[in-house]
Amino acid sequence: MDRVSVILLPEGEAPAGEELISSLEENCESIEELVTAVPVTGELPFPVKYVPPEGKKLGELRNELVKAALSDYVLFISPGSQMEDGFIEELIYEQEESGADLVFPNLIRVYGGQEQVKNFQDPFEREGILVSSLAVEDFLPQWGVLLSKGKIEELGGFDPTLDDYDFYHFVYKGLKGGISIKLAELSYLRQKVVETFVDTSYRSFVLRSFVLKNFDWKRELFPFLSWDENPKAAQATALTLIAERLSAYLDLFNTSEFLRQALVEFHNGETFRRLIEVYRLMGLFEEARRLLKTPQGVDEELVKRELEMTEKIESLVNELEKGVEEGKVQEVLKAAVDTASVYDGAPIYNLLGVINWLAKRPAEAYRFFYKAVTMNPINQDYLYNLSGAAKELGKEDEVFGLLERLLGDKVAFGR
């Protein structure tokens, strides 16, 4: 393999800038063609195929551009990607040496003028570590990745319903289907961050609806637990680990479901405390108090501390809500920022949405309401506020999709 098809996909509204064009020119000897859904100006020393995006979702565009590509391997980039001279050649070398289906680089993330270097682990011939992480996106980037076109076709391509998480869902499918994945240790992709808002509900949905249902819990997801010696403790630990990952995705509703199930399997103080904390973050203060009244053997000091914290945070939220009602917007904003390190639950994001809505900033309000509902999709006030902003912006379908991802599927616990 001497050359590859480079596939340029849109990311937000960012154009194909000079830095990207220069990096393509520097790697021209390794490029068969550029297949792009982003307009490119000027002459390039290889053929360019333009496929208009026409409102298509990212996964749909990936599939269409892959189909149009001529080479056996394709390289995915975005307008924010910058490749050093010889970057593609190094990926090709690693693929030919290893025979891997997917080869990826290390990453230099560029945001706000700051650089953050991410050196990844090489998972080659031990790809199971990616599965058991429950967060494959932490272990490889989606840009600068060289991927076998034949493997893409074999696995049925990319799911267009999964927004910007379509690539990682594909990787999970590949891991189930025996894909081989290799790090090009000497390669680094500079990637400008052009979009800071991430809808983490897609990540939660893929974890719950695909990963937990298609991989064996004992052999593939949690092989390090003592399933034979202490099955109840192992099951409870697995459920708690899943809950922590869902919490990182802000899916607190399903986090609470898994924590409750963990407590049924193996009652312990730490899981109990974590569930109380999740209820507080959701704004379910009464639910937290109800659980604290039936601690079932949990240390009394822990119960006392958690009850005091629950009362303190609820009082703080009530004061902030009262401040908004009284028109003390600047005071509330300052207080919300000052208390963020202590409490940044769904009620805070809902309040920030209200403040932006009153200031006639519906787009900003929508994002805050969206985050509040992501954290607690069963609160009627949050839903009402998000629905109102969505109607104003014509985004009702987005809200329906969010609720469907968070509440629409039921996961069978354990294997």
How far is residue 178 from each of residues 24, 127, 151, 216, measured CA to CA in Å? 31, 9, 10, 14
Non-local CB neighbours of 378 within 8 Å, separated by 6+ positions: 253, 407
Q: How far apart are CA 107 and CA 185, in angstroms?
A: 10
Tokens 């049925």 belong to 156
**4-196 under CATH 3.90.550.10, yes or no:** yes
Non-local CB neighbours of 266 within 8 Å, separated by 6+ positions: 232, 233, 235, 236, 237
Pairing between β-strand 31-36 and β-strand 4-8 as defined by DSSP bridges: parallel
pLDDT at 252 > cutoff 70: yes
pLDDT of 264 reads: 93
pLDDT at 115 > cutoff 60: yes
Query: Could you give the residue ranges of the DSSP H alpha helices within 13-148?
Result: 18-26, 58-68, 87-98, 128-132
| Extents of the domains making up the chain | 4-196, 206-407
pLDDT at 415 > cutoff 50: no
pLDDT of 404 reads: 96
How far is residue 219 from each of residues 42, 177, 227, 289, 297, measured CA to CA in Å? 53, 15, 10, 38, 33
Q: For 80-91, how does the pLDDT look when each residue is reduced to its tens digit (9 = 90+)?
A: 999 999 999 999
pLDDT at 135 > cutoff 80: yes
Q: How far apart are CA 252 and CA 376, in angstroms?
A: 6
pLDDT category of residue 414 using cuts at 50, 70 and 90: very low
* Domains 4-196 and 206-407 equal at CATH topology level: no
CA quadruple 119, 124, 129, 135: dihedral sign: positive
How far is residue 318 from each of residues 250, 277, 314, 369, measured CA to CA in Å? 22, 18, 6, 18
| Residue percentage of the chain with pLDDT more than 70 | 98
pLDDT at 262 > cutoff 70: yes
pLDDT of 103 reads: 98
Q: What is the mean pLDDT of the chain?
A: 94
pLDDT of 112 reads: 85
pLDDT of 317 reads: 95
pLDDT at 402 > cutoff 60: yes
| Residue percentage of the chain with pLDDT more than 90 | 87
DSSP, collapsed to helix, strand or coil, labels residue 199 as coil
Give strand pairing partners of 31.
Answer: 4
Q: Are 150 and 81 in contact (CB under 8 A)?
A: no
pLDDT of 282 reads: 98
**206-407 under CATH 1.10.3720.10, yes or no:** no
Q: For 322-353, how does the pLDDT look when each residue is reduced to its tens digit (9 = 90+)?
A: 999 999 999 999 998 888 888 999 999 999 99
DSSP string, 298-317: --HHHHHHHHHHHHHHHHHH
DSSP, collapsed to helix, strand or coil, labels residue 364 as helix
Q: Which two structure tokens, joined as six digits, stand for 109?
A: 């993330």
Q: Are 23 and 78 in contact (CB under 8 A)?
A: no
- Average pLDDT of the residues in 374-382: 97
**Structure-model confidence comparison of residues 321 and 296, the more confident one:** 321
- Average pLDDT of the residues in 156-169: 96
How far is residue 126 from each of residues 44, 122, 131, 367, measured CA to CA in Å? 39, 9, 10, 39
Amino acid at 294: T
- Average pLDDT of the residues in 305-311: 96
pLDDT of 87 reads: 97
pTM for this structure? 0.94
pLDDT at 403 > cutoff 60: yes
pLDDT at 205 > cutoff 70: yes
Crossing angle (nearest 10°) for helices 269-282 and 300-325: 10
pLDDT of 412 reads: 40
Total H helices, total E strands in the chain: 18, 9
Query: φ, ψ for residue 90 (rounded to 5)?
Result: -65, -40
pLDDT of 413 reads: 39
**Structure-model confidence comparison of residues 151 and 18, the more confident one:** 151
Closest CA to 317 of 291, 282, 275: 282
CA torsion angle for 211, 215, 219, 225 (degrees, to 10)? 30
* Among the ranges given (88-92, 112-116, 131-135, 402-406), the one the predictor scored with the smallest mean pLDDT: 112-116
Give strand pairing partners of 183.
Answer: 104
CA quadruple 353, 359, 360, 361: dihedral sign: negative
Q: Are 203 and 238 in contact (CB under 8 A)?
A: no
Stated length of the chain: 415
Displacement of CA 172 from its chain's centroid (Å)? 14
Q: For 41-61, how does the pLDDT look when each residue is reduced to its tens digit (9 = 90+)?
A: 888 999 999 999 988 999 999
Q: How many CB atoms lie within 10 A of CB 150?
A: 11
Q: For 313-330, how does the pLDDT look when each residue is reduced to its tens digit (9 = 90+)?
A: 999 999 999 999 999 999
pLDDT at 271 > cutoff 50: yes
Pairing between β-strand 73-77 and β-strand 102-111 as defined by DSSP bridges: unpaired
pLDDT category of residue 411 using cuts at 50, 70 and 90: very low
